């Protein structure tokens, strides 16, 4: 098999850890696999470099930041290649440019346009283990770019797609994706496999272990991604195309997000263009709106609009909304910060009925009031009072029988087969 193995910052966080990574790479090689390695910067390194830059400027030039930050992965890739060499296997480190990762010009958050991977293929053909510096690329004009936080995941998935690899392994410091945050529900169960779609919807659970854009990329190119720990040999969670087995379960996980604030515009005139004006202004400020609720006005003249934004943007969003509300003659604007979003996610929702109703009923039974509701094909989200977050997660996890104790009954061990190439 051709396997791309990506090791995150904690996995290469020290010389001893880098040696352990080399051992793991070599073990996979000895098992007969061709291995391509992608590494993040040693943990703390990127933040250290950002700290240095911020000591000089509160707003350093993004082009310079990319050249600065790309150094972290170059260091860890060279050290990892040295460690693999030391075990008697030929290895070379390759920069984003040497791999031919061509991106657009959006410094600090560049998008991959194409990957040639010529030198990676050559190395594999020559029996050499390539160690790729993650997180980075170059533009057509040879400017160095980075792919944003978690960008090494994207490097790994994109390289796996370019090489048509059998598997992309993402090594991190957790065992995989859980049915919910084990910090809140000790009974939370590691999932053996999960669909790309569920992974995307489970942002609050999934994003910690796998960058969202890399999941989208994996989905687009159908790259099976195995998330697992570099600290043990546990099997991890396979993120893959939805299959029949997955549909048997209505709910795969319970997610939550405390980084939410709600803004309500009271009694705005109910006429066409009002919502467009407001949300265009907010989008122009690069603020992502999550849930929007507009009530039908009782008198046909005025309506209330509520929406949520990331808590970090709430002051900015509030100010913009106040300006627009004044223009529109609304009665007032209110900001509420003590809210959270809890979500249940599962591809099985498409075929199971009554899932949303069960969620609402469960919350109601525990005295948790629902402030806003939002649904997608495979997700139901409720905005609730933030103080009930942990309680809501626990009772939903229990209600949908996701815990370790319920494993045998609800979720038969899923068979995992990888695509052949």
Binding site for a second copy (CB under 8 A): 15, 18-19, 49, 52-53, 55-57, 60-61, 63-65, 67-68, 70-71, 74-75, 77-79, 81-83, 85-86, 92-93, 95, 97-98, 142, 144
- Residue 49 CB, nearest distance to a second copy (Å)? 7
For residues 190 and 237, the answer to whether their CB atoms sit within 8 Å is yes
Nearer to a second copy, 60 or 310 (CB): 60
- Full DSSP string of 23-41: HHHHHHHHTT-EEEEEE-P
Residue 131 φ then ψ, to 5° = -115, 110
Nearer to a second copy, 41 or 246 (CB): 41
Nearer to a second copy, 79 or 239 (CB): 79
Give the span between the Cα atoms of 290 and 229, in whole angstroms.
Answer: 31
- Residue 362 CB, nearest distance to a second copy (Å)? 52
- Residue 15 CB, nearest distance to a second copy (Å)? 4
Distance of CA 365 to the CA centre of its chain: 32
Nearer to a second copy, 131 or 267 (CB): 131
Q: Which two tokens stand for residue 22?
A: 């080399």
Alpha helices in 182-221 (DSSP H): 196-201, 203-206, 212-221
Kindly report each contact of residues 303-307 with a partner whose C-beta sits within 8 Å and lies 24 or more positions away, as own/partner.
Answer: 303/267, 303/268, 303/270, 304/264, 304/265, 304/266, 304/267, 304/268, 305/264, 305/265, 305/268, 305/274, 305/275, 305/278, 306/262, 306/263, 306/264, 306/265, 306/372, 307/262, 307/263, 307/279
- Residue 133 CB, nearest distance to a second copy (Å)? 8
Nearer to a second copy, 71 or 212 (CB): 71
Nearer to a second copy, 60 or 235 (CB): 60
Q: To which residue do tokens 């603020």 refer?
A: 287
- Residue 169 CB, nearest distance to a second copy (Å)? 22
Give the three-class secondary structure for 285.
coil
- Residue 112 CB, nearest distance to a second copy (Å)? 19
- Residue 9 CB, nearest distance to a second copy (Å)? 15
- Residue 77 CB, nearest distance to a second copy (Å)? 7
SS (H, E, C) 54-104: HHHCCCCCHHHHHHHHHHHHHHHHHHHHHHHHHCCCCEEEECHHHHCEEEC
Nearer to a second copy, 56 or 276 (CB): 56
Give the span between the Cα atoms of 324 and 318, in whole angstroms.
Answer: 10
Q: Which two tokens stand for residue 399?
A: 């209600």
Nearer to a second copy, 62 or 245 (CB): 62
Give the span between the Cα atoms of 379 and 343, in whole angstroms.
Answer: 7
């Amino acid at each position: 098999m051709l396997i791309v193995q990506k090791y995150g910052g904690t996995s290469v966080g020290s010389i001893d850890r880098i040696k352990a990574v080399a051992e793991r790479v070599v073990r996979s090689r000895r098992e007969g696999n061709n291995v391509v390695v992608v590494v993040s910067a040693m943990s703390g390194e990127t933040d250290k470099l950002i700290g240095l830059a911020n000591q000089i400027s509160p707003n350093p030039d993004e082009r310079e930041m990319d050249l600065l930050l790309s150094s972290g992965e170059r260091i860890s890739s060279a050290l990892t290649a040295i460690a693999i060499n030391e075990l008697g296997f030929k290895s070379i480190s390759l920069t984003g440019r040497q791999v031919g990762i061509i991106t657009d010009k959006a410094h600090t958050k560049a998008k991959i346009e194409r990957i040639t991977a010529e030198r990676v293929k050559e190395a594999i053909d020559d029996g050499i283990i390539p160690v790729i510096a993650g997180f980075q690329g170059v533009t057509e004009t040879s400017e160095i770019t980075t792919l944003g936080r978690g960008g090494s995941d994207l490097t790994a998935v994109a390289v796996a797609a370019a090489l048509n690899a059998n598997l992309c392994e993402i090594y991190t410091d957790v065992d995989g994706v859980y049915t919910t945050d084990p910090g809140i529900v000790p009974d939370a169960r590691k999932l053996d496999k999960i669909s790309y779609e569920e992974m995307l919807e489970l942002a609050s659970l999934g994003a910690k272990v796998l960058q969202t854009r890399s999941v989208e990329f994996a989905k687009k190119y159908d790259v099976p991604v195995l998330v697992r720990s570099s600290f043990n040999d546990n099997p991890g969670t396979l993120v893959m195309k939805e299959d029949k087995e997955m549909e048997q379960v209505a709910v795969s996980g319970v997610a939550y997000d405390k980084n939410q604030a709600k803004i309500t515009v009271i009694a705005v005139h109910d006429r066409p263009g009002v919502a467009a004006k407001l949300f265009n202004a907010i989008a122009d400020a690069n603020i992502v709106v999550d849930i929007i609720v507009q009530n039908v006005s009782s008198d046909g003249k005025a309506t209330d609009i509520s929406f949520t934004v990331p808590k970090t943007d709430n002051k900015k969003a509030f100010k913009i909304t106040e300006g627009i509300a004044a223009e529109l003659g609304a009665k007032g604007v209110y900001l509420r910060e003590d809210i959270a979003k809890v979500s249940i996610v599962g591809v099985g929702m498409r075929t199971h009925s009554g899932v949303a109703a069960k969620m609402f009923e469960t919350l109601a039974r525990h005295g948790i009031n629902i402030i806003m509701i939002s649904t997608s094909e495979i997700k139901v989200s409720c905005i609730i009072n933030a103080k009930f977050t942990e309680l809501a997660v626990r009772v939903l996890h229990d209600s949908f029988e996701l815990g370790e104790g319920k494993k045998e009954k609800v979720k038969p061990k899923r068979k995992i087969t990888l695509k052949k190439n």
